[in-house]
């Protein structure tokens, strides 16, 4: 376990380094120097604020599970792009027109530091620049690069995260919700970007292999990985609801029972505790099965196996928590 933690921490250092190197660089204009400096600072502010880096980490570990260390290096631009999209969504979520949050990871939110209008622009810049970095992924087939760009757009746009956010806004405060509606929110708002992480890792793994996957299998595997991410996202959110009900504030690191105090509809309030626990386990097992079914198509070298074990270890830390 100690070796796994150390290995994952080393990969996170790679991610952190790539984030730092993504700092905006402008020509040294003599006019508006202060403004250009502020733009560069504001762009980096939410990126370096911290976080678990789950999405880029899953991207790199999934790539390593298929193509080893070379695939991890190939996936770095994709991982950075995904973290930028996730961070943009948080910047926008915090705005007064959305959740109106003052703090994010213990620090003032972006709009609290730079103002609402500039906070909005920071989110816009992160989203747009994500595609710039993604397009620098070295791909041996045009289809692979095209697929990377399509996947990020699909999972973060109207067919993914945006729909989840829209449903969350529309359904918040309603007390006649059914589980299927809550599931749709979690599937899109949380699950789609996690699925994108798996697909990114898959494609970057293929980039370093000597042989190509036939088109039909390529499409099939992408669909499996996308669905695995959706299942992980749903399970994660169910477990969050369970922990809010059963955990202590000390163990959670946040206020326990907050959902109940706010009379918020959750998986536990709809399904009951036992059924919610069973459902979280079911979605977790389905996700694991889909991932294994994709990895089984590739040679199991010792290097690949190491990264696959790290991937499942990280998912276990994310999902299989005591509740």
pLDDT tens, position by position, 186-200: 999 999 999 999 999
| Predicted pLDDT of residue 199 | 98
pLDDT tens for each residue of 64-76: 999 999 999 999 9
| Predicted pLDDT of residue 247 | 54
| Predicted pLDDT of residue 320 | 74
pTM: 0.93
| Predicted pLDDT of residue 257 | 45
pLDDT tens for each residue of 70-93: 999 999 999 999 999 999 999 999
**Region 174-182: what's the mean pLDDT?**
93
Q: How many domains does the chain have?
A: 1
- Report CA 279 to chain centroid distance, whole Å: 22
| Predicted pLDDT of residue 253 | 43
Q: Give the integer Cα–Cα distance in Å for 177 and 105.
A: 30
Q: What is the rounded average pLDDT for all residues in the chain?
A: 91
Comparing CA positions, the residue from 57, 79, 86, 59 lying closest to residue 160 is 86
pLDDT tens for each residue of 213-254: 999 999 999 999 999 999 999 999 999 999 988 854 344 344
Strands, E, within 6-65: which ranges?
none
> Which range of residues forms the domain containing residue 219?
2-319
Residue 108 DSSP one-character state: E
Question: Which is more confident, 5 or 132?
Answer: 132
pLDDT reading at 323 higher than 50: no
Q: Which helix (H) or strand (E) holds 78?
A: helix 76-93
Q: Which residues pair with 104 in a beta bridge?
A: 107
**Sign of dihedral through CA atoms 96, 50, 20, 53?**
negative
Q: What is the CATH number of the domain that holds 221?
A: 1.10.600.10
């Amino acid at each position: 376990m100690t070796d796994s933690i150390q290995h994952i921490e080393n990969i996170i250092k790679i991610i952190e380094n790539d984030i730092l190197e993504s700092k905006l660089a402008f020509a040294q204009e003599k006019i508006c120097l202060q403004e250009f400096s502020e733009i560069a600072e504001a762009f980096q502010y939410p990126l370096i604020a911290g976080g678990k880096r789950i999405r880029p980490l899953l991207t790199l570990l999934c790539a390593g599970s298929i193509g080893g260390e070379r695939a991890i290096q190939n996936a770095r631009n994709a991982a950075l792009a995904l973290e930028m999209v996730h961070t943009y969504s948080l910047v926008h979520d915090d705005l007064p027109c959305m959740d109106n949050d003052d703090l994010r990871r213990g620090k003032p939110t972006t709009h609290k530091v730079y103002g609402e209008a500039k906070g909005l622009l920071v989110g816009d810049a992160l989203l747009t620049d994500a595609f710039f970095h993604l397009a620098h992924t070295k791909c041996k087939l045009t289809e692979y690069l095209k697929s990377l760009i399509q996947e990020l757009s699909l999972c973060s746009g109207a067919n993914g995260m945006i729909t989840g956010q829209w449903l969350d806004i529309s359904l918040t405060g309603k007390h006649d919700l059914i589980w299927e509606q809550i599931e749709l929110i979690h599937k899109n708002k949380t699950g789609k970007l996690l699925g994108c992480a798996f697909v990114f890792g898959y494609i970057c793994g293929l980039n370093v292999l000597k042989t190509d996957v036939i088109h039909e299998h390529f499409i099939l595997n992408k669909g499996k990985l996308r669905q695995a991410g959706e299942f992980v996202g749903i399970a994660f959110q169910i477990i969050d609801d369970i922990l809010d009900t059963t955990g202590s504030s000390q163990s959670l690191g946040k206020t326990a029972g907050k959902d109940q105090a706010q009379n918020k509809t959750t998986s536990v309030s709809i399904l009951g505790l036992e059924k919610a626990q069973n459902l979280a386990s079911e979605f977790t097992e389905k996700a694991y099965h889909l991932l294994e079914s994709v990895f089984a198509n590739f040679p199991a070298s010792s290097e690949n196996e190491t990264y696959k074990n790290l991937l499942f270890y990280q998912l276990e830390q994310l999902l299989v928590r005591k509740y």
